[in-house]
Chains A and B, each alone.
Chain A
């Protein structure tokens, strides 16, 4: 049996499933067979390795049955119960351990040398047990001051902070190789009132090495800054209402940056992806090259040869409700941008899979934006304006009442829909390679240019 026959048999057997599920299954098995063939395994053997069509169909249907019907509502609730008591008890154990991990340093530090007298405003972090780095991860919980993390100019690890009466700071290095920096607020009400006049207070942690495993910072309402030249395996930065300024690399899974109402700025990144979320703040991304910087220009055809380069890249995802999103300089595998009332501005953005930008009432502006597989710009009442965008395949531009205006770097086969707006797009003359572009508006005008 060859691949085509096999996939055809599967498709017939699972035709009762929703089309999306059906296609997804087919794509999966098709990829598995292709990967085997690519490795030199004959097609018939590669197909046989999947099992008989009947057994594959049964497996797909068996898995789809309970999920396809009840999944929608039940999924979230049932997840916790899926593994029964094992997971419940595991959660309890994990909870106890993590609580212990959080409070142990505090309790311990309360009694030993690590307690920092508030008059010093400085502590040096070292351990005398070995010559190697005493910790490889950092966890900072800071309800009060701004947090700054930067490279130490010497080989010393230390922290410096503004003194405020009633605020005590502790550090501890756990057995888990984590440096914990915690803060206890002992102020009474009039001290709290008094500290309103202290102005800005901050704690700066100076790190002696370039690379660390994980960084977790959680601040109440203050700002968090992570300065250049550091690399973290993973980072999670959260603040209630402060701003986040992140200028370091991430070598593993994309970092999470989250602020309630503050702005989030990410810049000068040579490695690593980001999931960024703020409700009312703006998000500015500048020079974020998830797979190192590369000068790229031309049409999306030029991107097709860069799968290796983008292969090590990561994704950038941004969500904000009322903030603007600005990207000036980015290389990524996947880019997803969402805002409700903010604007989206993109410049010098090169991406492999998809660039999706969505806003409800804001405008979308794009300049030199190339994506290999697809570009999708969507807004309800805002305009879409662009200069020099291109995609190797799909392109979707949609607005309800806004205008669409701009220049695309390669010829397109346009499908245009508008009710009351005027349309001005190049005719489909059938010459050269033509990629599809769907343009939709209800009342806006459409004016698109491409090369002749």
Chain B
């Protein structure tokens, strides 16, 4: 898949994984795995990017004697998800446009 598109998709997937409840890195990977494979080294920059863009916030919670970082979606993050749903409609209509041209054979 085109890198730019995939990048945008994964951003939204990560936001979707924390949409209902705050979550931490490994849990996010597990929650996403039925739908899309994502490695730690892919997730890490996404989380950082989303955090610096204020689409999510991070906080640490003590867990079994160590700190675990939790991620919490912001309103901007939620907006990104709903924007994506709108974007998707656009993409679908562009897709229809592209394949229509092909079928018409012009």
A315 within 8 Å of B (CB atoms)? yes
- Chain A 27-52 residues near chain B, CB threshold 8 A: 27-29, 31-32, 34-36, 38-39, 49-51
Contact B40 A51 (CB under 8 A): yes
B99 within 8 Å of A (CB atoms)? no
Please encode chain A, from 103 to 122, with 1 for each CB lying within 8 Å of some chain B CB and 0 for all others: 00000000000000000000
- Which B residues are in CB contact (< 8 Å) with A25? 44
Contact A50 B4 (CB under 8 A): no
Chain B's nearest CB lies how many Å from the CB of A169? 27
- Which A residues are in CB contact (< 8 Å) with B39? 50-51
A132 within 8 Å of B (CB atoms)? no
Contact A372 B41 (CB under 8 A): no
Chain A's nearest CB lies how many Å from the CB of B39? 6
List the one stretch of A187-195, A197-205, A304-312 in contact with chain B: A304-312
Q: How many residues of B contact A (CB 8 A)?
A: 41
> Please, how many angstroms separate the alpha-carbon atoms of A210 and B82 in the complex?
26
- Which B residues are in CB contact (< 8 Å) with A34? 66
B interface, over-half SS: helix
A91 within 8 Å of B (CB atoms)? yes
Chain B's nearest CB lies how many Å from the CB of A211? 16
Q: A75-B52, A352-B62, A373-B60 are in contact. Are A29 and B90 (CB under 8 A)?
A: no
Q: A352-B62, A353-B59 are in contact. Are A50 and B41 (CB under 8 A)?
A: yes
Chain A's nearest CB lies how many Å from the CB of B9? 10
Contact A90 B83 (CB under 8 A): yes
- Chain B 1-55 residues near chain A, CB threshold 8 A: 4, 8, 24-27, 29, 39-42, 44-45, 47-48, 52-53
A2 within 8 Å of B (CB atoms)? no
Contact A86 B75 (CB under 8 A): no
- Which A residues are in CB contact (< 8 Å) with B4? 83-84
Contact A90 B86 (CB under 8 A): yes
Contact A36 B26 (CB under 8 A): yes
- Which A residues are in CB contact (< 8 Å) with B40? 28-29, 32, 49-51, 56
Q: A253-B75, A373-B60 are in contact. Are A86 and B41 (CB under 8 A)?
A: no
Residue of A nearest to B91 (CB): A86
> Please, how many angstroms separate the alpha-carbon atoms of A75 and B49 in the complex?
10
Contact A352 B45 (CB under 8 A): no
Contact A28 B75 (CB under 8 A): no
Contact B61 A35 (CB under 8 A): no
Contact A60 B44 (CB under 8 A): yes
A294 within 8 Å of B (CB atoms)? no
> Please, how many angstroms separate the alpha-carbon atoms of A281 and B84 in the complex?
37
Q: A28-B69, A32-B25 are in contact. Are A307 and B45 (CB under 8 A)?
A: no
- Which A residues are in CB contact (< 8 Å) with B60? 353, 373
For A372, give its contact among B62, B72, B87 (CB under 8 Å). B62
> Please, how many angstroms separate the alpha-carbon atoms of A97 and B79 in the complex?
13
For B75, give its contact among A27, A39, A79, A234 (CB under 8 Å). A234
Contact A304 B75 (CB under 8 A): no
- Which B residues are in CB contact (< 8 Å) with A55? 41
- Which A residues are in CB contact (< 8 Å) with B53? 79
> Please, how many angstroms separate the alpha-carbon atoms of A319 and B6 in the complex?
37
Would you list the 9 A-B pairs with minimal beta carbon distance, nearest first? A35-B26, A59-B41, A90-B87, A63-B45, A307-B62, A83-B8, A56-B41, A32-B40, A93-B86
Which residues from chain B sit less than 8 Å from chain A, CB to CB?
A: 4, 8, 24-27, 29, 39-42, 44-45, 47-48, 52-53, 57, 59-64, 66-69, 72-75, 78, 82-84, 86-87, 89-91
19 further interface pairs, Cβ-Cβ under 8 Å (given A35-B27, A93-B89, A94-B86):
A31-B24, A31-B26, A36-B26, A59-B41, A59-B44, A63-B45, A63-B48, A71-B52, A75-B52, A79-B53, A84-B4, A86-B91, A90-B87, A90-B90, A234-B78, A315-B59, A352-B61, A353-B59, A373-B62
What would 12 A/B residue contacts be, using CB atoms closer than 8 Å? A24-B48, A28-B69, A31-B66, A32-B25, A75-B52, A87-B87, A90-B83, A94-B86, A253-B72, A253-B78, A334-B59, A353-B60
